[in-house]
Amino acid sequence: MTNIAREILFDRSIPVFDAIDFLTQGHQEIINYFDNYNRAKSLSEKQQIAKKICKALTINLHLEDDIFYQEVKRTLMEKGWLSAITMEHSVVKYLLSEIEGLDADSAVYDIKIKVLGEHVKYLIKEKQTKLFPKVNRSNKIDRWKLGAQLAARQSFLENAFASK
C-alpha cells in the first residue's frame, strides 16, 4: 500500500479498496439495479430504479473513463482493448441519454432499459474476465492508490448528483 493510500485510510469518510474490488462492487450494484427493475411492478417503482441505474452508470462511466482506463492505458499499453471499451461506453451513454429523455410511461421506456441492461451486463462480464485479470497480474499499477482515487471521485460525483 502506498503512502497516499495510507493517508486516505485515516480519512474514514473515504473507504480504501483495491481498484478492481472497488469497480467490481460497483458493477454488482448496477446489475442488482437492473434485476430490481425487472422485478418491479409499478411504474413509479420502475421510474425510481431507472433513476438509480442512470446515476450509477453515469458515475461508473466517469470513474472508468477518467481514472481507471487512463491508468491502464498509460501503464499497460492496452490501447486496442480500451478503444473497444470506449466505443461500448459510447453506446451506453447514448442509451442513457435516450432513456433520460423519455417519459417513464413511454412505450419504449421498458425496452430501452432492458436493452441497456443486457448491454451493460455483457460489458461488465467482458471487463471482469478479460481486462481485470490483466490488471491484477500487473505489478505496474498500484491498485490501492487507484482504488483511493476512484473512491474519492465517486464521493465527489455522488455529492454533485445529490445537489441537483
Please state, in angstroms and as integers, the Cα–Cα distance from residue 74 to each residue in 8, 78, 109, 128, following that order: 23, 8, 39, 19
**For the chain, how many structural domains are there in total?**
1
What is the percent of the chain where pLDDT is above 70? 88
What is the span of the domain harbouring residue 114?
3-162
**pLDDT tens readout for residues 29-56:** 999 999 999 999 999 999 999 999 999 9
Alpha-helix runs per DSSP H in 1-142? 3-10, 19-39, 43-63, 69-76, 79-100, 109-126, 132-137
